[in-house]
């Protein structure tokens, strides 16, 4: 497999789908704000994992397009709301003004709301059209992991922990719910569409938790070791906002060590899926060395 070719083809596949769903219509400003954030230069991590999981389980990745787009759209809603003045109050993301700075706070809130709803419209439309319960299960999986039991719950505890140092248990909950949950949603939704059995779903859930925590640790590391030019946003924002991070709770040395071990453990699970999981395993390997 030519990984670079496959990666670029899949990113193009996802982006073309996103353009279709986010085609401007009335009222134009809300579509402009939603599109501005979706096409602000994201890595398409979650939809790529979704495609890879489907493929690893023997499925046709063409069937995943609505879900791949939906997971990216839902992820973008979380970023818009995360950047708001009432949350992290960030001015830049991916080297561009955040949505509330490029437009206005009220439009940014509505853009986030619009993207969240659009994500579920896309998934449910696909489920209704197909009549296949695997698509309904995939949509339910995403819904169960991006609500109060997942990303929203993680954001709540994250906010409550800003004025005090989180303990180890609380920090791990925040990272599992706020970061790993959507990665788990992507992997499990793709696997369900691919026809995975319960054993494989359990494996991917374990891999998602390890990969999600590793991904968040890397973000924490980059916040103190990276540069604003490469990251596309100011460094040191976690410290500025009084956030507890893996580094502040466990220390830099353990953070670096755990990042590598968690990444390797997740990759071992992907490799256990065999030849069909080759893209997923290689993509995970490359995430280890990311610089933004």
Question: Which residues, 6+ apart, have CB-to-CB distance to 142 below 8 Å?
Answer: 67, 70, 71, 74, 119, 123, 185, 189
Residues 233 and 227: their CA atoms lie apart, in Å, by: 8
| pLDDT tens across the length of the chain (292 residues) | 799 999 999 999 999 999 999 999 999 999 999 999 999 988 999 999 999 999 999 999 999 999 999 999 999 999 999 999 999 899 999 889 999 999 999 999 999 999 999 999 999 999 999 999 999 999 999 999 999 999 999 999 999 988 788 899 999 999 999 999 999 999 999 999 999 999 999 999 999 999 999 999 998 998 887 555 555 556 556 666 667 899 999 999 999 999 999 999 999 999 999 999 999 999 988 887 777 6
pTM across the whole model: 0.93
- The C-alpha atoms of residue 76 and residue 149 are separated, in whole angstroms, by 18
Number of helices and strands (H, E) in the chain? 16, 2
């Amino acid at each position: 497999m030519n990984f670079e070719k496959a990666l670029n083809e899949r990113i193009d596949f996802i982006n073309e789908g996103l353009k279709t769903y986010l085609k401007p219509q009335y009222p134009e400003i809300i579509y402009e704000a939603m599109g501005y954030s979706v096409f602000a230069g994201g890595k398409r991590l979650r939809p790529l994992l979704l495609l890879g999981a489907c493929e690893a389980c023997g499925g046709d990745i063409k069937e995943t397009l609505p879900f791949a787009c939906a997971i990216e759209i839902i992820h973008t809603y979380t970023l818009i709301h995360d950047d708001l003045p009432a949350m992290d109050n960030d001015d830049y993301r991916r080297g561009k003004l955040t949505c509330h700075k490029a437009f206005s706070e009220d439009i940014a809130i509505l853009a986030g709301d619009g993207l969240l709803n659009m994500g579920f419209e896309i998934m449910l439309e696909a489920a209704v059209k197909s009549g296949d319960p695997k698509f309904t299960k995939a949509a339910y999986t995403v819904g169960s992991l991006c609500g109060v039991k997942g990303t929203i719950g993680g954001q709540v505890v994250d906010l409550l922990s800003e004025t005090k140092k989180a303990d180890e248990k609380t920090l791990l909950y925040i990272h599992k719910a706020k970061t790993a949950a959507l990665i788990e949603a992507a992997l499990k939704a793709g696997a369900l569409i691919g026809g995975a059995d319960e054993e494989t779903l359990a494996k991917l859930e374990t891999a998602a938790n390890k990969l999600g925590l590793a991904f968040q640790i890397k973000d924490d590391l980059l916040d103190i070791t990276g540069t604003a030019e490469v990251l596309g946003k100011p460094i040191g924002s976690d410290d500025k906002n009084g956030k507890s991070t893996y580094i502040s709770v466990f220390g830099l040395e353990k953070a670096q060590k755990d990042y590598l071990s968690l990444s390797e453990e997740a990759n071992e699970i992907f490799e256990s899926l065999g030849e069909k999981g080759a893209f997923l395993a290689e993509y995970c390997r490359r995430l280890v060395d990311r610089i933004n």
